[in-house]
Amino acid sequence: MRAKWFLGGGALLLVGWILWSSIWLVGQNERGVVLRFGAVARVLPSGINVTLPWPFETLVQVNTTEVRIMPIGFRLSAKARGLSPTDEEVQWLTGDTNIVDLQATIQYTVVDPAAYLFGMSDPSNGEAKEFAIRKAGEAVLTSLMAHRTIDDVLSTGKTALQHDAIGLIQELLDTLNLGVRLASLNIVEVNPPPAVIGAFNDVASAKADRERMVTEARGEAHRTLPATRAEAVRVVRNAEIYRSDLLGRAKGEAESFVRLAAEEARSPEVTRRRLWLERMEKDLPKASTKVVQPAARGERRRVFIDG
């Protein structure tokens, strides 16, 4: 009788063990990776799923909707404790041989649970394989920063840097078969090193002053050039009018001289007399004139006429 009880109890335990190790509830945000003797057999969707009992098959659940964060240029654990990143972590060399402090975060999700679990083994340095995302980001950013100037990185080029980096990092991670998809790369901070930030601010201030002076000079040029051009046009037009008037008078005098020469050739005495009279007619009104009349009855009379 006891043997039957033991056999019945053992059978119930076996059935319970089979059911307990065969029926799985995969969460709504998860996928289940079925391992058969340690090798990936298939990937199950969310919901109730059945596998072969252990030790034939087992199931590992992976969250595929969680947005995970990997820092670059700092470590989350160190930042939580208020510790500053090391120079090796935070400093980057730009294409114009300047150094900037850059910190960024990569957001990613798991798209291939099997590849995420077994596509890449953990490195030998003790870090989890997820830190391959960090190393890939560092490698890509190092390459991209080497082709950009410090002014570009600190100003308008930051957005383009983020856009270019995320595509290259994704290509690199795909070659590693890590099974993740990058959602975004955000540059959290990018500044000159604290040791040189004062000098950098002086340079930035000088550049701002240069731009301000150039802008003011352009504004002054825009204000003065129209008036200067108008004055130049007026001077040129007046010169043209003066030239035309001078040429006209010169031509008239030349033609008059030619006619006078012709008259003088025909009647020299008459012409000379006429020229003398015309000259006197012009000059006498401008001078004081004294007229002496002949003597009358032995006395000379003088009559002064102011003209």
Residue 305 pLDDT exceeds 60: no
Place of tokens 């991670």: 173
pLDDT of residue 107: 93
Give pLDDT tens digits for 16-34: 556 666 777 787 888 888 8
**Contact, 144 vs 166, CB < 8 A?**
no
Residues ≥6 apart with Cβ < 8 Å to 75: 85, 89
Q: Is the pTM of this model over 0.85?
A: no
Give pLDDT tens digits for 72-102: 887 766 565 556 667 677 888 888 888 888 8
- Any idea what the Cα angle at residue 189 is, between residues 185 and 191, rounded to 5°? 135
CA 205 – CA 154 distance, rounded (Å): 14
Write down all domains in the chain, each with its CATH number in brackets: 2-63 (no CATH), 72-191 (3.30.479.30), 267-305 (no CATH)
Give pLDDT tens digits for 137-180: 999 998 998 888 887 887 778 888 888 999 999 999 988 888 89
- Average pLDDT on 228-252 reads 87
Phi/psi for 143 (5° steps) reads -70, -45
- Average pLDDT on 34-49 reads 80
Structure tokens at 57: 């098959």
CA 18 – CA 87 distance, rounded (Å): 55
Whole-angstrom CA distances from 125 to 122, 128, 129, 131, 186 are 9, 9, 10, 11, 27
